[in-house]
Amino acid sequence: MHPTTLANDATASPREVGWGFILLYAVGYTGTWLALLTPALVSIALRLRQLSPGTATQDLALVLSVGAVFAIVSNPIFGHLSDRTRWRFGRRRPWLVGGMLCGAVALLITARAESVTFVLVGWCLAQLAFNAVLAAMVAVLPDQIPENQRGTVSGVIAICLPLGQALGALIVRGVSESTMLIFMLPAALGTMAVLLLAWRLPDRVNEAVAPRSSLKDSLRSLWIDPRAYPDFAWACLSRFLLAMGGALITTYQPYYLIEALGFDEAEVAGRVSQAVVIQTVVMVVVGLISGKLSDLTGLRKVFVFTGGVLYGAGLWLIAGAGSYVAFIAGMATMGIGHGMYFGTDLALVTGVLRSRPHASGKDLGWLNVANTLPQSFTPALGALVLHGSGGNYPLLFAFAGCAAMLSSLAILPLRSVR
């Protein structure tokens, strides 16, 4: 379809799409994560070490925690706004383009900041802008992809986050001497990727006229009553629990390698990188296969359920690991579980929400909240567990594994998908 050809019915069932569009969607998704994750994982930490070397750790915790709050609040709001957009350019395209451009400006503010305060301001603005992009980006799936292809596409876009993260790490390594480039090069590449998607996106105009409503009614409409939509509530709870387990291992694995397995600090970066690469390769392969099998069989729950179980089993393997080889085995098992879960999860959720195509941006925004919220409190929760247990990392990771196992149980009550 030509990019300027717009459908008149925002709720019409999408037609089957080719691999060209799927790959273009994946490029745009990867570009978004590249622009957003690179500062969060690397660039901001380096900038704060330049500005406040004595308090960089505390300042980083402050900046990332406050930024996470902005991400949590903004995602369903921007999803709701994109659902209600009636511009002639479509309902998702304006937020994709505007969000990336505003996000790039916000990162420019962050890169040129001369104080921790302005780093904080710039990063909060960046979170607002990029979460507007994410809210519109995830809504493209139910907008454009028919249900019989959503498992395949879910498997493809499941690899976009780790791919964006890996690309960001490579870019920063290559331009590490330039503060401006470690922020702006990922932002520029990400913006170009999203602009390319927006240019080719056969966006749909939402011509349904919504009645005017008060601010109170608008805010109330953001909420999804779990009693009215229990399957969606269970799906969000499942995502929340799995994200909590994953955040605990991501945050504390460097300290675990040092304090539990006895590695020197100089070795840790290489050991973590090796484990992440192995996990990512396994996740990508399994995610693509699981998504395709899910489409062929029409089954969603079994893949998501099994993925959560394997993810939890991997965390339990790490909890009982007495060597680096056992740690790698646990990470690989987590990669299998991660691929199965996220390779099918979005297809499952959009199936749950098939009766609400007019609100897919807002609804999937709440799913993103379930994925993001644990990142804001798990560092403190992990510190509490470690402090109370005298630095017992096996206990911490066993707890993380229990959270992942519970994420599988939360899938069982779903009735609207198989």
Distance (Å, whole) CA 6 – CA 292: 29
- Give the domains, in start order, of the chain with CATH numbers: 19-221 (1.20.1250.20), 230-409 (1.20.1250.20)
Segments in the chain below pLDDT 50: 1-11, 209-211
DSSP letter for 112, please. Answer: T
pLDDT at 31: 96
Nearest alpha carbon to residue 150 among 20, 294, 28: 294
Residue pLDDT, tens place only, 87-106: 888 889 999 999 999 999 99
**H helices present in 145-264, as ranges:** 150-157, 160-174, 179-200, 215-221, 230-259
Distance (Å, whole) CA 301 – CA 249: 25
Distance (Å, whole) CA 256 – CA 262: 9
Q: Spell out the residues 6+ positions from residue 110 whose beta carbon is closer than 8 angstroms to its own.
A: 39, 43, 44, 47, 118, 119, 122, 123, 126, 183
Residue pLDDT, tens place only, 156-190: 888 888 888 888 878 887 887 888 999 999 999 99
pLDDT at 102: 97
Distance (Å, whole) CA 11 – CA 187: 33
Q: Length of the chain in residues, anyone?
A: 418
Distance (Å, whole) CA 143 – CA 363: 13
Q: Spell out the residues 6+ positions from residue 1 whose beta carbon is closer than 8 angstroms to its own.
A: 202
Distance (Å, whole) CA 367 – CA 131: 13
pLDDT at 398: 94
pLDDT at 219: 56
- pTM of the shown model: 0.79
SS3 breakdown of the chain: % helix, strand, coil, rounded to 5?
A: 80, 0, 20
Distance (Å, whole) CA 193 – CA 360: 23
